[in-house]
Amino acid sequence: MMKVKLLFSVVLTISFLIEGHILSTVKDCLGTSLTNYEYANLPGIGWDNLLNENRGKIIQYKYSQCKTTDDGLYLIPDNVFVLQVKSSSVDIFSEIIDNWKNYTSATSKSINVGGNVGIPFIFDIHGSYSSEYQEVKTNQISDNSMTVRVGARYEKYVSKLLTEMDLDDAFRDRVLTIADHLLSGQKHTARYESQLLIRDFGTHVATSVNAGALIYKIEQLNRTAVQNSDMKRSDIAKSAGFSFFGSGIEYNHASSTSETTVTKYLSLRTHSSVPNSRRSVIQTSQFQYK
């Protein structure tokens, strides 16, 4: 009788574990919850701070609770907290970058700067191998120009990792392999595997991610022509916005920016580009310059 009870208990335990495993998958949660969409902009992903690119997954996501965002639109992991930004305003930004060494990515500025604090040498090369950084550097040097970046940013969600989390299996196995090499005295192999780890999983891990929409333009202005003109930096910034978004933007003191000023600004340009990966459809009536 005790053998039968023990066997029954084992069967129940196995059934419970299998059921729990099934419910922890994204596919099953999407079938049982009210949403059909998985939240994609998650923290816990590796980030290459030299190339400004995403890398492999570092944190393991679990979906046993089938959690959704507060608005019920997206499925999120158990170990991720997502805050919906209540403000619906779109931030218009316009900045002048005199030296290419001070250029940072519009999409990853916080990690480019904050991720390097206290680390000698690395602070000076953040994002310096990204194609965007290299393009700005080349244009400034070859054209003797300065950079103007203008765009619109709208934040809808902010996602953060919770304190309880597990490492992704693939990342954990790679780290343990490196540890085994070190324990066995294979320092050269451990160094090589560490380099591959950084290549595949990046230099940092993103613990917080802002999601929304972003569109921006990068322009180069002839430095000598700017110095010889009577345009103020504020006029340059406003003219850059008008040339990109048009008159649909609500600027403070908009009357001070005339068509003549915008035309003069356009004559100073040596290069202009809109990164394709940042394009988005946003109504200009929602914009308000700050």
> What is the pTM (predicted TM-score) of this model?
0.68
Work out the burial of residue 82: count CB atoms within 10 Å of its CB; fewer than 13 is exposed, 13-18 middle, 19 or more buried.
Answer: buried
Find the helix or strand (DSSP H, E) in which 212 lies: strand 208-222
Q: What pLDDT tens digit does each residue of the chain (290 aa) get?
A: 433 333 333 333 333 333 434 445 787 787 666 677 888 889 999 988 888 888 999 999 988 888 999 888 899 999 999 998 887 678 888 899 999 888 887 776 555 444 444 444 444 445 567 788 888 999 999 989 999 999 888 888 999 999 888 999 999 999 999 999 999 999 999 999 999 999 999 988 888 888 888 889 999 999 999 999 888 898 898 888 888 887 555 544 444 567 888 889 999 999 998 876 443 333 333 333 33
Number of Cβ within 10 Å of residue 147's Cβ equals 22
Domain boundaries, the chain: 33-289
Q: Is the dihedral of CA 131, 132, 136, 139 positive or negative?
A: positive
DSSP collapsed to 3 states, 27-63: HHHHHHCCCCCECCCCCCEEEECCCCEEEEECEECCC
Do 247 and 210 form a contact (C-beta atoms < 8 A)? no
Question: β-strand 145-161 against 80-84: which pairing, if any?
Answer: antiparallel
